[in-house]
Amino acid sequence: MELRVTQPRKQAGFTLVEIAIVLVIVGLLLGAVLKGQELIFNSKVKATFNMSKEFAAAISGYQDRYKVLPGDDATAAARFPTYNPVPTNGNGNGTIQWQAFPCQVASVGENCQVFLHLRAAGFVSGTGAEGAMTPFGSSTAIAASLQLFLATGNNPVFAIQNTGITHKVAVAIDTAFDDGDPTRGSFRCLNLAAYNNAALETTVPDLCSIQM
């Protein structure tokens, strides 16, 4: 009888080199995803700040054309009688008054009608008196008198609803475009305890405003 010596079967598996390659690929993919998220976040921060500048330019254009402030325009209804919805007149006292927030399509307060007056005049897009939405999903309003900027007189400020404006967003805007201090400069926030607590990076919303 012939005896045959059988070789033990080799167990299938990954070598250390193969595992290392897989780990490197996973690391590169994870790094790319995180970098992409950072770029998206930074672009939203910049776009949110730039909204205040765009509306400041629109307000200046309205003033140059009609010699009054949008929202405060006492003849807006007669000026844009065919626009739908027909604008609500302001009181014409030279100040965009803070009356309602957040701004809805049919809001009649001057800080909301400013959007409708600008839209009727063709300066900005949007629907009715609804506040323009930031990339973070926050509604906005424009008014001259807001508790964050009592010393600014009739200069309007761009108020951002606290929905979506987290500690992380507020700090990023303030650091990138102002002085990093929420109590002074052109960018200010109400919730200082949240602003100054890095542990609340993503959870605490804040009501902030940008001086225009």
Sequence spans of domains, the chain: 45-211
Q: Encode pLDDT of 24-45 as tens digits.
A: 788 778 777 777 788 999 999 9
Crossing angle (nearest 10°) for helices 16-66 and 167-177: 70
**Stated pTM of the model:** 0.79
CA dist., res. 89 & res. 33, Å (int): 49
Handedness of CA 76, 77, 81, 87 (dihedral sign): positive
Q: Encode pLDDT of 121-153 as tens digits.
A: 999 999 999 999 999 988 999 988 665 665 555
> Which pairs count as long-range contacts for 74-79, CB under 8 Å and 24+ apart, including other chains?
76/113, 76/116, 76/117, 76/120, 79/120
